[in-house]
Amino acid sequence: MTVLTTRHLPSLPREEVVDGVRVVRLEPVAGFSRGMIVPGLPRALARLLLRTDVVQMHTPLPEALLVAGMARAFGVPLVMTHHGDVVMPESLREKAIETAAFVVLSGAARLASAVTSYSDDYADSSRLLGAVREKVVSIRPPVLLPEPDRGAAARWRAELGLEGRTLVGFAGRFVEEKGFDVLLRALPLLRARVPGVQLVFAGEPNVAYERFFERCRPLVAAAGERLTLLGLLRDPQRIADFHAMCDVFALPSRSEMMALVQVEAMLAGTPVVASDIPGARVVVRETGFGLLCPPESPQALAAALESALRQREVLRPDPALVARLFAPDEAIRRNEELLARISVAETLGEPLVS
């Protein structure tokens, strides 16, 4: 296996072997929105395609159509592993990027031998995936997190001065599609019902390609000391302890294929309140370890959070069951099967049956 990617940090080597996997990083010359401009990609990809049996491409990717077209030209089958449609804020520039991304990704999907989605629920609702539904295979994403250290979580809560508070956690990129502004608007309503409630955010607020946090400054200011910003957590143990520290986890997304943070919360024994939208609702529906609420409604979100907090012992997840549903070994097995099946089908000239 060879991973072809960008050298997004100057400190990273241009090439190395990580756990037996060759990683080749290409030098970007500039960035735009969520992507990077990498002039060396066509040449590096062409060299790899000469000795490759199958390509697995992860999207959204600005160069998706280029990669798919080159794979087709070289006669190499391609699996497009799709991690979600591009959904941008309501501005002329951002919507132009969203439209361009749809054209690029749709073209790549048509050229791919197979496309994967996290769930049928998302695939059935996606305009992009709906056009190639016959070749879409749903494979749950792998989620692996250590067991939380309950003692460390309690100490962390005390260090933050949050003892005696009811903690509502949320995490991820602070961008418009995640709906964190809805949660901030729900906070005063929730405080009226649960006076000791506290929002705790784990993640990077200042996302380079989307200044949504700046637009939410008035809401952040209004939350005041009832909002705690932890910053981006990179250590898996720290992430597990964050989830264990929270009484409930909120996922108020406007668009979502399947946020892995809600699975992480459940692995730590924390129930989830999620938007009742395609993709985002799958984990709560399949496990029963949480509640769903209509998207973009602070009133509905506050009511659902209050209900989840009052029922948290009933809704408390079984981490062992969640771990089985999102086991890395199962995800690896299904991906390996798909890659092997596509490679054989293309070699024999047979159609791939999803």
Asked if the structure places residue 354 within a domain, the reply is: no
DSSP string, 129-195: HHTTGGGEEE-PPP---PPP-HHHHHHHHHHTT-TT-EEEEEES---GGGTHHHHHHHHHHHHHHST
Question: Which tokens sit at 290?
Answer: 């949480």
Domain assignment of residue 91, yes or no: yes
Instruction: Give me the CATH number covering residue 184.
Output: 3.40.50.2000
Q: How many CB atoms lie within 10 A of CB 157?
A: 20
155 and 75 co-located in one domain: no
Stronger pLDDT, 247 or 30, i.e. the higher one: 247
Q: Which residues contact 77 (CB under 8 A, 6 or more apart)?
A: 53, 54, 55, 71, 113, 342, 343, 345, 346
When mean pLDDT is compared across 42-46, 126-130, 350-354, the lowest value belongs to 350-354
Residues 340 and 312 in one domain: no
Query: Per the domain annotation, does 58 fall within a domain?
Result: yes
Q: Is residue 353 part of a domain?
A: no
Residues 217 and 342 in one domain: no
User: Looking at the domain assignment, is residue 271 inside a domain?
Assistant: yes
Question: How much is the pLDDT for 353?
Answer: 45
Same domain, 122 and 229: no
Tell me the percentage of the chain whose pLDDT exceeds 70: 97
**90 is a domain residue:** yes
Confidence bin at 354 (pLDDT 50/70/90): very low
Would you say how long the chain is, in residues?
354
Q: Are 78 and 96 in a shared domain? A: yes
256 in the same domain as 136: no
Q: What is the pLDDT of residues 74-96, one digit of tens each?
A: 999 999 999 999 988 888 888 89
Domain span including residue 24: 2-142+328-348
Q: What is the pLDDT of residues 287-333, one digit of tens each?
A: 999 999 999 999 999 999 999 999 999 999 999 999 999 999 999 99
Note whether 229 and 125 are same-domain residues: no
Number of structural domains (the chain) is 2
On whether residue 297 sits in a domain, the answer given is yes
Asked if residue 37 is part of any domain, the answer here is: yes
